[in-house]
Amino acid sequence: MGLPVQYLDPSAATNRGLSVIRTAAYTLDDGGLDDRVPFLARLEQEDRTALLALGRELNFATRVALIHQSEPSSHVLFLVQGWTKVTASAANGYEALLSLRGPGDIVGESAALTGRPRSATVTALEAVRAVAVEHERFKDFLGRSPAVSFALLGLTADRTRAADRRRLEFASMHVRERFAILLLDLARTHGRRTPEGIELSVPLSKQELAGSVGASREMVQRLLRELREKEAVETGRRALLIRRPDILRRIAAAEG
């Protein structure tokens, strides 16, 4: 039986925030998706409205960075509409895709709470609408709202657990298995069904895919070529169509 999870409905967004949430059911087979329940969906409507009323609305075009890695922190962002990617770069230039954040998510909260520089870059994958709240106002609100503070703590714990799970996967799986799991995960959360298969709705480069599974760009190119030869996927420039998810599932289970 699915676990009811409340998600924000971006179509119900108002100029000052989000007023309606919808319910989606996830099964236990989805592998612990608690970390993907957006922050705003964890709040009561009264708290959500009051929090968003503290900020100002900002709009970002596709491929524009909302925040930059290593820059000083001055505010947190609450995503109201549109999807973003969170990436981090190492000193040698290697870039990793850390996560995708969408409607209802909070970004930049760690830097705001600790006073440290931003740890990652957040970039719009499509037109994005967000509410920016200055970090002093955000921290003051948390101090006056125990329920919101606990919701943020719960989100942090869920994300930490997800990161631990990912480290375990890195240690216990080959890159081929990790890549198959990534594609299945993206198909489940950002897939669009078409007559030909499941089209990923987020434009990610081969380097970003590689960074997400701890591989090189060349390795990902090799894996995609193998999957194309098996007619499991079709690829284009920042486009990917999954034709045979059953093949990916066999690879993910180390059977392929």
Which has the higher per-residue pLDDT, 11 or 106? 106
Average confidence (pLDDT) over 154-168 = 86
**What is the value of pTM for the model shown?**
0.78
Angle between helices 175-190 and 146-172 (to 10 degrees): 140
In angstroms, the first-to-last Cα distance of the chain is: 29
What radius of gyration do the chain's Cα atoms show?
19
**Domains of the chain in sequence order:** 3-170 (2.60.120.10), 173-252 (1.10.10.10)
> What does the block give as tokens for 140?
């003051």
Q: pLDDT digits over 62-105, tens only?
A: 999 999 999 998 999 999 999 999 999 888 888 888 889 999 99
Do 234 and 192 contact (CB within 8 A), yes or no?
Answer: no
3-state DSSP call for residue 122?
Answer: strand
Q: pLDDT digits over 204-245, tens only?
A: 888 888 988 888 899 999 999 999 999 999 998 778 999 999
- Give the DSSP per-residue string, 161-215: HHHHHHHHHHHHS-HHHHHHHHHHHHHHHHEEEETTEEEESS---HHHHHHHHT-
Nearest residue to 159 (alpha-carbon basis) of 34, 43, 25: 34
Do 101 and 83 contact (CB within 8 A), yes or no?
Answer: yes
CA angle (38 as vertex; 241, 17 as ends), nearest 5: 110
